[in-house]
Amino acid sequence: MKEKNFIPLKDFPNFDEDEMLERSKFFKEYLRKRRSIREFSSKKIPIDVIKNCLLAAGTAPSGANMQPWHFVVITNSLIKRKIRIEAEKEEREFYENRAPDEWLEALTPFGTDSSKPFLENAPVLIAVFEKKYHLDLKGNKVKHYYIKESVGISVGMLITSLHYSGLATLTHTPSPMNFLNGILGRPRNEKPFLILVVGYPAENVKVPDIKKKELEVISTFV
């Protein structure tokens, strides 16, 4: 490996094996408490928590460190309303015409339909964009690599950070979502990836009774 402008690795945590086991168990149990919710309280959330979680998401690994993501944090009611209107238009088209029966069948346990009140009720929406390229100082296009993988990892870290901070989320993907570029004034090199709805759960909220797969099913050790 050629060392180019390298610096010593700093602050890497050092735990003994018992501690590692304890920490991994705690974290697994903590993450088991995360659920997507579809009814949010309108209670405001501290914006500094969101900022910290975005910075945490921004530490994600990415192809050639291009960090091909952009997050738009929406708290403005008028903008949320515009997003709801456009998203519901697409969702109506999806549920009534575009969705194949197989897909509708897969969605039955979640009881979802084209109505998306959470886009207005939740205190924060985070629209996540994937950036296909950026411009260097001379205005030349610099290509990004493994964009979807990188943005997906970053969003995973964002959801985890929000959950760790005590906030609930819903990953929402109206399709297509190009209307977000218009409403949010994002440039052509950015493509909507998903909308993360963020807030506290509404009182007595219920979630679908679903199970996560067992270790033997999701993994193989060789």
Ligand X SMILES: Cc1cc2nc3c(=O)[nH]c(=O)nc-3n(C[C@H](O)[C@H](O)[C@H](O)COP(=O)(O)O)c2cc1C
**Which residues contact ligand X (rule: CB under 6 A)?**
35-36, 38, 110, 112, 170-173, 194, 207, 210
* C-alpha 87: how far from chain center: 17
In the chain, the amino acid numbered 206 is: K
Comparison of 1 and 210: residue with beta carbon closer to ligand X: 210
Distance between CA atoms of 99 and 208, rounded to whole angstroms?
A: 21
Comparison of 22 and 36: residue with beta carbon closer to ligand X: 36
State the nearest-atom distance from the C-beta of 18 to ligand X, in Å. 30
Residue 47 burial (CB count, 10 A)? 12
Q: Which residue is nearest to ligand X (CB)?
A: 36
Cα–Cα nearest to 124, from 222, 48, 22, 189 = 48
Comparison of 50 and 194: residue with beta carbon closer to ligand X: 194
State the nearest-atom distance from the C-beta of 186 to ligand X, in Å. 19
Comparison of 24 and 171: residue with beta carbon closer to ligand X: 171
Comparison of 59 and 171: residue with beta carbon closer to ligand X: 171
Comparison of 72 and 87: residue with beta carbon closer to ligand X: 87
State the nearest-atom distance from the C-beta of 180 to ligand X, in Å. 13
Three-class SS of 163-187: HHHCCEEEEECCCCCCHHHHHHCCC
**Is 78 exposed, middle or buried (CB count within 10 Å of its CB: 0-12, 13-18, 19+)?**
exposed
In the chain, the amino acid numbered 153 is: I
β-pair partners for 196: 126, 171
Cα–Cα nearest to 128, from 97, 93, 159, 104 = 159
**Token pair 């194949």 is at which residue?**
100
State the nearest-atom distance from the C-beta of 146 to ligand X, in Å. 17
Q: Are 123 and 42 in contact (CB under 8 A)?
A: yes
State the nearest-atom distance from the C-beta of 142 to ligand X, in Å. 27
State the nearest-atom distance from the C-beta of 11 to ligand X, in Å. 31
